[in-house]
Structure 1
Amino acid sequence: MKTLFFFSLFCITCILSAFSQCLDDQNSLLIGLRNSLIFNLSASTKLVHWNHTKDCCNWDGVECDGFGHVISLQLDNETISGGIENSEYLFNLSYLEKLNLAWNRFYGIQIPRGISNLENLTYLNLSYAGFTGQVPSEVLRLKKLVSLDFSGVFRLLKLENPNLKILVRNLKELRELYLDSVNISAQGNDWCQAISSSLPDLKILSLIDCNLSGPINSSLLELRSLSVLRLDVNDLASAVPDFFANFSRLTTLSLAYCSLLGSFPEKIFEMPSLQNLDLEGNMLLSGTFPSFPLNGSLRTIVLRKTNFSGSLPDSISNLTFLSRLKLSSCSFFGRIPPTIGNLTELTHLYISDNNFIGSIPLSNLSKKLTYLDASHNSLTGNIPSSLFALPSLIWLQLSDNEFHGQVQELSNRSSSFLKELDVSSNNLEGPVPKFFSELEQLQILSLSSNKFNGTVQLEMFKSPYLEVLDLSHNDLFIQSTESASSLPLLPNVISLTLASCKLQRFPSLHRQSRLFELDLSSNQLKGEIPNWIWEIGNGSLGFLNLSSNLLHGFQKPYKFPSSMGVLDLHSNQLQGELPIPPLSSQYVDYSYNYFTNSVPNDIGHFLSNAHFFSVSNNNLTGEIPPSICNATKLEVLELSANALTGSIPPCLPNNSVLGVLSLDKNNFSGTIPDTFSVNCSLQTLDLNKNALKGKIPRSLVNCPSLEILNIGNNRIEDTFPCMLMKATIQEWFFLQIIDISTNNFSGGISFLSFSKWRGMISANDNKQLKYNNLRFDYRLPQFLYLVTNYYREAVTGENYYQDAVAVTMKGLERELTKILTIFTSIDFSNNKFHGEIPYSIGDLKSLYGLNLSHNELTGSIPASIGNLTQLGSLDLSVNKLTGTIPVELATLTFIGFLNLSYNRLFGKIPEGPQFQTFSAASFEGNLGLYGCPVDTSCIKKESGVSPPGFQNGEVHLKKGIDWDYVSAALGFAVGFGSTVWLTLHCKRWREMFFGKVDQIYLKFFPKY
C-alpha cells in the first residue's frame, strides 16, 4: 500500500508540474527582473524572449514547482552586466532552489548581500560571472546549499572574512564545492582539516588556483564519498601522498602545476575507481608506469611536462577505456608497444618531446583517433599513407623525427577529415604527395625542413579551408602561375611560409584577402620590394619576412600597413635612408644591409610598442636620437657595426625591460651612463670597439642577470674589479662571458673571488637539462602566433635572440652566432693589472677561455688552473709571472691553445700528451725554462707544423680582443658536449649543426 501511495503522490506531483501556471506575483517579479537587468539584447538567448504572451513557467531558463512558484532560474551566459546589485525582484523569489548566473559580466561588482533572502537555495552557481571582492557573510545563511560554485579567474574573489573554515562550517549540507581561483591563502593542514571536519559527505572538491600551500594532510581521508578532487595551480611544493590510493570512490584526481616533488606512488595508477589523472606541469615529479591490471578504469592520463620516465608497458592495452593519453615533454624512451593499438577508445594521443625510437604501430591505431602528436622524438621508418586516412583523424603532428623515404600516394582519401598535418623536420624525400594538396578538410599543412624535391605549383593546394601552408627549407622549386583571374591564389590562407624555396620572383599574392603572415626569406628575390605587398590582406598584413634575399630597394610609393607587428628585412642589399617602421611594430630587423645617413630623429616614437629593433651591420652615421627614450618596451636593441657617434643616451641603461643592448663596433665617445635601473633586466651588454672612457658605472651592480659583459677595446680607466666588491655583483650567477680587454684598467686582482661567478662554475649543472644556445628569451604579443598555433592546445608565442659574439683567431674575425651555453670566457688582457692570479680561478669548472695576457701580473701560475678540465684556450703571456709551470696544467686534455711566453718562468716544462703538441713559441721569452719543446733535441723530426695560434715561430702579440683563442674552446667544447647533444636532438639538426661546427673548426684549426 505504501508503494502505491508514494507512486500516486509522484504522479500527482508530475501532473501539477506539467500543468502548473506561473503565479501573478512570480510573473511580476520576473518581468521586473528582466526590465532591471542590463544585458546585450542581440546576444541574449533567454531574457530577450521573456514576454506576457507565454506562461512564465515556460520561459527559457525558468522552472516552476507544481504550485506555480519559480524554483529554478538559469540565466547563465546572458551577457548581464548590471542591475542585480540591490534587485528587489530577484531576491524576493523566495521559493528559488536553483540560481545560475554563471558566465556573465558583473565586472567590478560584489556578490549582492540580498542573496541571503534566498534561503531555500540548494544550487548556487556564480562562476566566471566577474564578481569581485570578499565573499559576503550573507552567504553563510544559505544552509540548504548542496552545490556551490564561486569559480572565476585572477582571484577576483577572496575568502578572508568569512574564511574557508567559517564558510564550510556553516554550509554543512554541501556535496559539491567549486572555488577555483578564489583567493583562499591557507596552509595545507588548515584547509584540509577545515573541509574534512565539516563536510564528510563531500563528493566534488575543486580548489584550482586558490593560493593554497602544502603538504596535503591525511585528514582528507575523512571525505569518504569524495569522487572528484582538483587542486591544480597551487604551490603545494610537496610529494603526492600515498593515501590518495585509499579513496575508494575517487574518479578524478587533478594536480596539474602544483610544484609536486618526489616520486609518484604507482599504486594510484591501479586504483579501481580512478578514471581521470592529471599531473601536468610538475617538472620535478618523477615516476614510472606500473604493470596495469586487466580492465583498468582509467580514461584520461595527463603527464605532460613532468619528469616521468621509463618505457610504455605492454600492459597499457589493459586500459580498455582509455581515450586520452598525454605524455608530451617527459623522459619516456624505448619503443612504442604494439599493444597500444588495442586501445580502441583512444581519441587523443600526445607523446611528443620524449625519446621514443623505432616506428609507431600505425596500422593498429584506434579508428576513433582524433589527435596524434608524436613530434620531437627519434622515430624512424616510413610513414604509411594509410595513416592519413584514419576516419576520425583531424590533427596529426609527426615533426622533428627521423622518418625517411617517400610518402606513398593515398588512393582513398574521400573520407579523410584531416585538418592539420605537420611532418616537418624529418628526412622525408621525393615529390610532395599529390594527396597532401587534395585533402578537402585540410586547414594546416607543414612540410618544412625535409628533403622533398621537385617543382610545386601553389595552385595545386585545393582545400578551400587551408589557412596555414609551410613548405620552407626543402629542395623544392616553388612556382605560381600568373593569372588574370580576380580570384585569390589561396583564398583563405592566413599564414604562408616559403622560406628557402628557390623563389626568383614574388608569387602572385595581390588578391589575398586574409593573409596575415608571409615568409619569403632565404630565396633569390631581386630588385625592389613591390609596393603591392603592403596591400596584402586589404592592408592587414601583420608579419612579413623577406630576409636573406637580394633585394636592393622599395618600389615607390609605399606605405607600411598599420597592422604590421613583425618586419624582417635583414641580410639584403637595401640602400638609402632607414625606413620608418609602422607604429604597430613589435619586431623590426634591418640588420646586414647598406642603409646610410643618420637614424631618423623620430624613430623612438615609431618604436613605442617594439620589443626588438636591430639595424646592426649597416652604414649609419650620426648620433642616437633622443626619441629612442620613447621605446620603453624594447627588450633587444642592436645598433652594432655602424659608424654612429656621440654619447650613449642615459635612458637606455635606465630601461628596466631591456635585455640586450648591443652598441659595439661604432664610434661612441664619452662615458657609460651611470643610470642602470634598479630593476635592470640586462643579460647582454656589448660596448666593444668604441671610444668610451671614464669608469665602469657603479649602477651596473643592479644587473644581476648579466650573461655577457663586453666592454673591451675602449679607453676606460678604472681600478676594476674594485667595483665588483659589492655582494650583488660578486654573485653574477649567470655571467658566462666577460671581456674588458684593451682598456686602461689597473689594480690588483688577487682579491677577486671568482668562486661566486656561478655561471662559469655550474653551466653544466642539472639546472640546464639541455645544451641550448646562449640566448635572450622574450615574448612577442600572442596574436602574432595565433596563426600557426591555431589548432594547438597551447599558444606559447616564444621567440629568442641569439647573441653574436666577435671572436678573433689568427687575425680573422668571425661572428659565432651559435655559442653554446657551456662556452664561457674571461678576457682581462691588454690592461695594467698587477698582483697574483687568485687561486679561486680554479673554481670556474666550465671555463673554456682564459686570457690575462699583456698585464703586470706577478707570482706563480696557480696549480688550481689544472682543475679547469674544460679549458680550451689559456693565454698568460707578457706578464711577470715567476716560478715553475704547474704539472697540473699538463693534465688539461682539451686545451687547444697555450701561450705562456714572455714571463719569468723557470724549470722543466711539464710533460703531457697535449703539451707535446705546442711549439717553442708557446714558452719563449722565459729564459729559465727547459725541456721539450724548448729543447729542440727532443722534437721529432717529422713534426714540422706549428700549433694553433702560431705561424713561422712568431708569437701572436695581441693588441685587440683576445677572444682569438676562445674559438679553440668551441671546438673542444663541442667534443665534450657532443654526446649529450646527440642524445637530445633530432638527426637532421645534429647533421646541420655539427656540419657548421666542423666548418668553423677547420677554418680555425687546419689539419696538420
Structure 2
Amino acid sequence: MEISFFPFILSLLQTTLIITSFFHCAQPLCHSHERSAFLQFKNSLVIDKSTSADPLAYPKVESWSREDCCFWDGIQCDKQTGHVTEVDLSSSCLFGSIKSTSSLFHLTQLQSLNLAYNHFNYSQIPSAIEISKLSKLLSLNLALNVHVVDSPSDVIRLLELKNPGFGFLLQNLTKLRQLALSYVDISSTVPYFLSNFSSLTSIYLRNCGLYGKFPESIFQLPNLEFLSLAENKELTGSFPEFQSGSPLKELSLWHTSFSGDFSSIGELDSLDQLDLEGCKFSGLIPSSIGLGRNELTGQIPPWLANLTQLTYLGLEANRLNGMVPRSFSGLKKLETLYLNSNELSGIVDFDMFLCMENLIKLQLTDNNLSFLTTDTKNINATVPQFRILGLALCNLRNFPSFLSYQDNLMFLELGANKIYGQIPKWVWNISSETMVSFDLSNNFLTGFDQPPTVLPWVRLKFEGRIPPSLPSCMMLQVLNLGNNQLTDIFPSWLGPLPDLKLLVLRSNRFHGVIGKPLFGSAFPSLRFIDLSYNNFTGMLPSEYFQYWNFMKHVDASGSTYMKANSSFKVPSHRWTNVFPYSVTITIKGIERVYEGIQDVLAVIDLFQVTTSMERFQSPLGVYKGFMCLTCPTTFSVVAFLQP
C-alpha cells in the first residue's frame, strides 16, 4: 500500500503558518525603551481637566496601562518595525513643564508630534535641541497651549521657544509638512532657510511675537496651502509676484504690518479664504479678493463674482464707493460677506443675498445703501439662516419681512435706520433660542403690536426698547433706548437687575418724578446712566447713590473695556467675537461717541433735564448740584447734572 505524505505535509505547513501568524500578531509591537519613555513623560506631568482651552479635551494618558503601547490612546506605531511614529496628545489635560531631559524626544523614528491644547505652565521648550534631532518629523504641533483670561480672544501664552531659538529648532526638520506653533511665545524673526522646506503644506504661526521682515520666498513654496501669521503686529513684509497655479488656499495676515502692492494676488486661483484685516495695504483695489480694514478706494469690481469657490469675503472698513455688484448672487458657496463701514451707495435688491443659501454672516452696516425687500408671501423656506446680520445705518423704513424666517440669528443690527411705528408681533418669534444681541436703537419706534408677557429671547443682551417683562432677563448688562420717541416714566422696576452696567434713556420723552428705589435694590452694578434730554421733574432721590457702589469703588490696576463675549459653532467652524459697548456723551454742548468704555469710568448724565438733585450724604462726602466723585489718578466719576 502506498501512502501519500503530501496532504499531511500540506496540513502541517498550514498549521505552522497559522500558529506563526498568531504569535506574530499577538506579540507586543511596542519597543520597551519607547514604552518606558512614554511612562516617564506621563509621570513628569499631572492631569488637570480644568486647564485645557478645548471644551472637548479628555486625559488620553489615563488609559495607558496595557503592555503594548502601540494600542495606547494617542499613539501610532509602524506595523512593520514596531517603532512609534505618531504621538497625538492634543487636548489631553496635561499640566506641567516640559523638562530638558524629557524622554519623549528620544523617539528617533517619530514622524508626527502633537501637544496642542494643553497647559505647559509658562515653561520654555528647553528640549528644542532634542526636537531638532527628530529629523524624520513630518508634522510638529505645539500650538494653542494657552490660558484663557477673559474670552477666547484674550489669552496668555504658556509655552516659550527662546533659548535655543526658532531657527535652531527648525534647522534639521527639513522634511516637515505641517508646522503649527500658534500662540507659542517665539519672539524671533522668521529664518530665511524655511523657504527651502519644499514639503511644507501648512504653516501656523499666529500670535507668536514674530518681528522683522518675513521672507517673500516662503509664499512661493511649491506645496504650501495654508499660511497663518495673524496677530504678529511687528512682523513686516510684502507679497511676491504670485503666479497662476499656486496651491495657496488660505492666507491669514490680519493684524500684522504687511504692506505694499498686492495686485498679483488675483493669480491665486485656489484661494478660498483671505484675511488681511488691519494691515497697511493701500491704493486702488486691485484685480484680487477684497481686503478689510485697509485704505482701499474705488468701486467693488464685479469680477469678484467669478471666484465661485469663495467662502469668505471681507471688504469692511475701507473707503470703497459705488454699488454692491448684483453679480455677487452667483457666489453660492459664500458663508461670510463683510461690506460694512464703507461709502457704498445705491439701491440693493436684498433678494441677491437670499439666493446665497450658505451665507450665515452678512454685514452691510454703516453705508449709504437703500434696500428693496421681498414681501413675506413671496419668500419660501430656502432663505439662508443668518447668524450675524448687520443692517444698521442702511436707510431701512420698516422691518424686513424675511426676518420672520430666521431661527438662528445671534446678532441682529437694525439701529440708526428710519423705522417708524410699532414693533410687529412677528418680531417676537425671531430666533428666540439663539439671539444674543438685538439693536433697535436710534429709530422712530412708538410701541408694540401685542408685546409678549415674557421676552422670548433666552440668551439676549438687548439694545432698543423692550416691554416691562425685562426684569426676567437676569443676565442683562446693557440697555440702550437712546434717541427714540419713547413716552414713559423712569423704569425703576429694572433696579433689581444684578448685572446691568449701562442704562441709556437719553433723547426720548421720558417724564415725571423719579421715584425712590423699589424692591430694596437699585442697579447694584451700574457704572453708566444717561437720562439726558428728557422731561423728568422733581428731585433725584439720594437713595440711589447708596446703591450705586460700583461707581464709588474702582480699581484702576486691572482696567479693561466693557464688552460682551460670544461664540458659536457651525459645522467644521467655530466663531468667536467681542462686542465692545459704545455710548454717546454730551460734554459742554458737544456730543462725543465713545466706541469703548473703560470699566473704571462711571458716568451720571442728567444734562438738560428739569430734575434737581436732592442733598445726600455718601462715604465720599456731602454733595449737592454738580457732582464729581474722584477716583484713582487718571479716572474720575463724572456727573452732568445741569438743568
Identify whether the pair has TM-score above 0.5, normalized to the shorter chain: yes
> Match of 1:383?
300
3-state DSSP of counterpart to 2:304? helix
Structure 1 position 377, deviation (Å):
1.7
Please give the alpha-carbon distance, in whole angstroms, between the structure 1 residues aligned to 2:434 and 2:120.
45
> Match of 2:479?
588
Deviations 1:391-412 (A, max 9, x none): 32232222222333345554x9
Q: Does 1:777 align with 2:561?
A: yes
Q: Does 1:425 align with 2:341?
A: yes
Which stretch of structure 1 is more off in the superposition, 547-556 or 182-191? 182-191
Structure 1 position 387, deviation (Å):
1.9
> Match of 1:312?
239
Q: Does 1:646 align with 2:542?
A: yes
Q: 1:650–1:164: structure 2 CA closer, same or farther, 3 Å change rule?
A: farther
Please give the alpha-carbon distance, in whole angstroms, between the structure 2 residues aligned to 1:181 and 1:322.
26
| AA at the equivalent of 1:149 | D
Q: 1:273–1:551: structure 2 CA closer, same or farther, 3 Å change rule?
A: closer
3-state DSSP of counterpart to 2:428? helix
> Match of 2:262?
336
Q: CA RMSD in A?
A: 5.1
3-state DSSP of counterpart to 1:403? strand
Match of 1:405 among 296, 319, 322: 322
Q: Does 1:207 align with 2:122?
A: no
> Match of 2:373?
458
Please give the alpha-carbon distance, in whole angstroms, between the structure 2 residues aligned to 1:359 and 1:403.
9
| AA at the equivalent of 2:142 | L
> Match of 1:125?
73
> Match of 1:392?
309
Q: Does 1:535 align with 2:429?
A: yes
Structure 1 position 621, deviation (Å):
0.9
| AA at the equivalent of 1:377 | N
Q: How many residues align?
A: 538
Please give the alpha-carbon distance, in whole angstroms, between the structure 1 residues aligned to 2:196 and 2:236.
18
Please give the alpha-carbon distance, in whole angstroms, between the structure 2 residues aligned to 1:533 and 1:544.
11
Summarize the alignment of residues 505-524 of structure 1 with structure 2, pairs less than 5 Å apart: 505-508=398-401, 511-512=404-405, 514=407, 516=409, 517-524=411-418
3-state DSSP of counterpart to 2:590? strand
3-state DSSP of counterpart to 2:562? strand
Q: Does 1:567 align with 2:506?
A: no
Would you say the 8 A contact 1:207–1:232 is kept in 2?
A: no
Structure 1 position 488, deviation (Å):
7.1
> Match of 2:581?
800
3-state DSSP of counterpart to 1:329? coil
Deviations 1:919-942 (A, max 9, x none): xxxxxxxxxxxxxxxxxxxxxxxx
Please give the alpha-carbon distance, in whole angstroms, between the structure 1 residues aligned to 2:274 and 2:575.
16
Query: Normalising by structure 1, what TM-score?
Result: 0.45
Please give the alpha-carbon distance, in whole angstroms, between the structure 1 residues aligned to 2:221 and 2:404.
57
Deviations 1:131-161 (A, max 9, x none): xxxxxxxxxxxx96454333216xx32357x
Match of 1:157 among 90, 94, 102: 94
Summarize the alignment of residues 254-333 of structure 1 with structure 2, pairs less than 5 Å apart: 254-283=180-209, 285-290=211-216, 296=222, 298-306=224-232, 307-314=234-241, 316-317=242-243, 320-333=246-259
Please give the alpha-carbon distance, in whole angstroms, between the structure 1 residues aligned to 2:442 and 2:160.
46
Taking CA–CA contacts closer than 8 Å with sequence separation of 6 or more, which of the two structures ends up with the larger relative contact order? 2
Please give the alpha-carbon distance, in whole angstroms, between the structure 2 residues aligned to 1:208 and 1:581.
42
> Match of 1:243?
168
Please give the alpha-carbon distance, in whole angstroms, between the structure 1 residues aligned to 2:25 and 2:442.
75
Query: Matched residues, percent identical?
Result: 20
Q: Does 1:621 align with 2:397?
A: no
Would you say the 8 A contact 1:294–1:319 is kept in 2?
A: no
| AA at the equivalent of 2:492 | P
Q: 1:647–1:703: structure 2 CA closer, same or farther, 3 Å change rule?
A: farther
- List gaps (5 residues or longer) in structure 1: 1-12, 22-63, 73-102, 128-142, 213-230, 366-371, 460-480, 656-660, 662-672, 681-701, 707-775, 822-958, 963-1008
Structure 1 position 542, deviation (Å):
4.8
Please give the alpha-carbon distance, in whole angstroms, between the structure 1 residues aligned to 2:166 and 2:403.
62
Please give the alpha-carbon distance, in whole angstroms, between the structure 1 residues aligned to 2:56 and 2:398.
51
Deviations 1:650-705 (A, max 9, x none): 5643x5xxxxx4xxxxxxxxxxx6xx2xxx4xxxxxxxxxxxxxxxxxxxxx4446
Q: 1:511–1:415: structure 2 CA closer, same or farther, 3 Å change rule?
A: closer
Q: Relative to total residues, which structure has the larger strand share, 1 or 2? A: 2
3-state DSSP of counterpart to 2:305? helix
Please give the alpha-carbon distance, in whole angstroms, between the structure 1 residues aligned to 2:146 and 2:244.
38
3-state DSSP of counterpart to 2:104? helix
Please give the alpha-carbon distance, in whole angstroms, between the structure 2 residues aligned to 1:109 and 1:320.
39
Would you say the 8 A contact 1:425–1:448 is kept in 2?
A: yes
Would you say the 8 A contact 1:358–1:379 is kept in 2?
A: yes
Please give the alpha-carbon distance, in whole angstroms, between the structure 2 residues aligned to 1:793 and 1:359.
33
Please give the alpha-carbon distance, in whole angstroms, between the structure 2 residues aligned to 1:451 and 1:551.
21
> Match of 2:447?
553
| AA at the equivalent of 1:782 | S
Summarize the alignment of residues 60-71 of structure 1 with structure 2, pairs less than 5 Å apart: 69=26
Summarize the alignment of residues 827-842 of structure 1 with structure 2, pairs less than 5 Å apart: none
3-state DSSP of counterpart to 1:431? strand
Deviations 1:742-781 (A, max 9, x none): xxxxxxxxxxxxxxxxxxxxxxxxxxxxxxxxxx723324
Match of 1:814 among 561, 567, 590: 590
> Match of 1:923?
none
Please give the alpha-carbon distance, in whole angstroms, between the structure 2 residues aligned to 1:497 and 1:384.
22
3-state DSSP of counterpart to 1:280? coil
| AA at the equivalent of 1:393 | L
Structure 1 position 111, deviation (Å):
0.9
Query: Normalising by structure 2, what TM-score?
Result: 0.66
Deviations 1:696-727 (A, max 9, x none): xxxxxx44467xxxxxxxxxxxxxxxxxxxxx
3-state DSSP of counterpart to 1:286? strand
Q: 1:238–1:625: structure 2 CA closer, same or farther, 3 Å change rule?
A: farther
- List gaps (5 residues or longer) in structure 2: 1-12, 30-53, 76-81, 148-155, 598-624, 629-643
Q: 1:379–1:623: structure 2 CA closer, same or farther, 3 Å change rule?
A: same
Q: 1:644–1:488: structure 2 CA closer, same or farther, 3 Å change rule?
A: farther
Indicate the structure (1 or 2) with the bigger Cα radius of gyration.
1
| AA at the equivalent of 2:582 | Y
Please give the alpha-carbon distance, in whole angstroms, between the structure 1 residues aligned to 2:169 and 2:337.
40
Deviations 1:880-934 (A, max 9, x none): xxxxxxxxxxxxxxxxxxxxxxxxxxxxxxxxxxxxxxxxxxxxxxxxxxxxxxx
Structure 1 position 282, deviation (Å):
3.4
> Match of 2:127?
191
Q: 1:434–1:70: structure 2 CA closer, same or farther, 3 Å change rule?
A: farther
Q: 1:233–1:254: structure 2 CA closer, same or farther, 3 Å change rule?
A: farther
Structure 1 position 458, deviation (Å):
1.6
| AA at the equivalent of 1:387 | L
Q: 1:638–1:793: structure 2 CA closer, same or farther, 3 Å change rule?
A: same
| AA at the equivalent of 2:562 | Y
Would you say the 8 A contact 2:219–2:240 is kept in 1?
A: no
